[in-house]
Amino acid sequence: MIHILVVEDEQRVASLIKRGLEECGYNVSVAYDAEMGLRLFRASEFDLVISDVILPGKSGFDFCKDVRVQNSNVPIIMLTALGTTDDKLEGFDAGADDYMVKPFDLRELDGRIKVLLKRYTKEVHKDHSDVISYADLQINLKTKEVSRSGLMIKLTPKEFNLLVYMAENPERVLSRNEIAENVWNTHFDTGTNFIDVYINYLRKKIDKDFDHKLIHTKTGMGFILRYNHEDQNEINA
């Protein structure tokens, strides 16, 4: 049975989530603050974590970072009443895989859980080399290290996942919807620009100090990882 950790300080909400997920067939443990959640996470094996952002004492973002220190792969969904681009970026930077805004439908939460668990299982059993190489870019999937022309580049978890997806699909235009669904496991919200923000983060780290740019924008279509480009419709900044 899938074991899920729910960290939610409002006991009524925590009880509703627990009961709803148990009806879907999950085994659910509940913590009411970050410290309690971290103790439970260290003491048991969990397949997925759901955490509210606003918690007493340590925030959900800090809890997410602590979980990532313990386990870099376990899927994490963050719950919050806040839904701005900056809030989502902070959650993704902390290591979250998905982000749901309250109030939400438990059926949608169940759907998000299934998507994340399917992707996690696929990644764990995926048969591929530990290193992805493209041009002078190298990505070590095992150690999470990235280098270009031998120079090490430090990325956040979401920046790393975005770069891996682009490197696994080089020289192909990736739409914002495709990136949202495959990297963030969500549909692209046209009211936010978090994907463009992360593309710019990557450009500053991957391309800024190199003559040959790898990450390009195809106007009106999306983004592409390509070493050579001549299309005047592509914008690099």
Does residue 95 surpass a pLDDT of 50?
yes
Write down the architecture of domain 131-235 according to CATH.
Orthogonal Bundle (1.10)
- For 119, phi then psi, to 5°, come to -65, -40
Q: For the chain, which residues make up each domain, given as ranges? A: 3-125, 131-235
**Could you give the 3-state DSSP secondary structure of residue 100?**
strand
**Could you give the 3-state DSSP secondary structure of residue 139?**
strand
Q: What does the pLDDT read at residue 104? A: 87
Q: What is the pLDDT of residues 19-36, one digit of tens each?
A: 999 999 999 999 999 999
Q: What is the pLDDT of residues 106-149, one digit of tens each?
A: 999 999 999 898 877 655 545 456 888 888 899 998 888 999 98
Provide mean pLDDT across the span 4-8.
96
Cα separation, 157 vs 159, in Å, equals: 6
- The class of domain 3-125 in CATH terms is alpha beta
Does residue 188 surpass a pLDDT of 90?
no
- Give how far the C-alpha of residue 7 lies from the chain's centroid of Cα atoms, to the nearest Å: 18
Q: What angle do CA 114, 119, 122 make, to 5 degrees?
A: 125
**Could you give the 3-state DSSP secondary structure of residue 204?**
helix
Tokens of 69: 């220190």
Does residue 178 surpass a pLDDT of 70?
yes
Question: Helix 85-93 vs helix 60-70: angle between axes, to the nearest 10 degrees?
Answer: 30
Its pTM stands at 0.59
Q: What does the pLDDT read at residue 187? A: 64
Q: Which residues contact 201 (CB under 8 A, 6 or more apart)?
A: 156, 159
Provide mean pLDDT across the span 5-22.
95
Q: What is the pLDDT of residues 30-58, one digit of tens each?
A: 999 999 999 999 988 899 999 999 999 89
Provide mean pLDDT across the span 190-208.
87
Maximum separation of any 2 CA atoms in the chain, in Å: 58
Does residue 229 surpass a pLDDT of 50?
no
Q: Which residues contact 175 (CB under 8 A, 6 or more apart)?
A: 221, 222
Q: Which helix (H) or strand (E) holds 220?
A: none
Tokens of 180: 């949202």
